[in-house]
Structure 1
Amino acid sequence: MALPTNKTQHKQALNPQQIGKLLSCFDNSRGSYQVNYCMWLMWWTLARPAEATEAEWTEFDLDNALWTIPAAQMKAEENTLFPYPFKLSECYKD
């Protein structure tokens, strides 16, 4: 007896109104500033939650707004570079 095949169910993309509401939640969150900054980091870089939560300050070049994830952490052959907006870098400098 064969197992039934799994149907892939893709998530629907957010519409502009939903995106606005989501971003508003980041700024109006009652959580800690660490959680808020982590959410913005994931938004701007499209990093996975584990990548963002396991990031270390030594990986960030705040002057050039560049996040370098070591190859070993990504199971890759080379380091992974994530540029992000300078506005986010200013938040991290505070």
Structure 2
Amino acid sequence: MIHRGDHLVRSNPKQQPGATEGITAGPIACQGCMEASLLNKLAGPLRRALIYGVISYSGLVLINNAELNLPNMWIAYLPMFIGVYVLTLWLDRKVGS
């Protein structure tokens, strides 16, 4: 039997269809596929966190170094974080596809 993705293919084409040699019941996954699946599940959230971290840190540095004299800094931070969120979603969709 040869493992291909999520199913098994008979390695011997002459093997009878009813033969159960080397076949077990239930789903089968090899170690390499399980590791690849775990990496695929972690890649999206890690990519989004990295994009968000870099953009938000850059925005904070930009606003803090702008020497704004505002009565409340949330006047600058709120639009920045909304922009960071929108930009993060857009970049994640571009990079993820």
* TM-score, structure 2 normalization: 0.24
Structure number, greater radius of gyration: 2
- Structure (1/2) with the larger strand percentage: 1
* TM-score, structure 1 normalization: 0.25
- Structure (1/2) with the larger helix percentage: 2
**Highest relative contact order (Cα 8 Å, sep 6+), 1 or 2?**
2
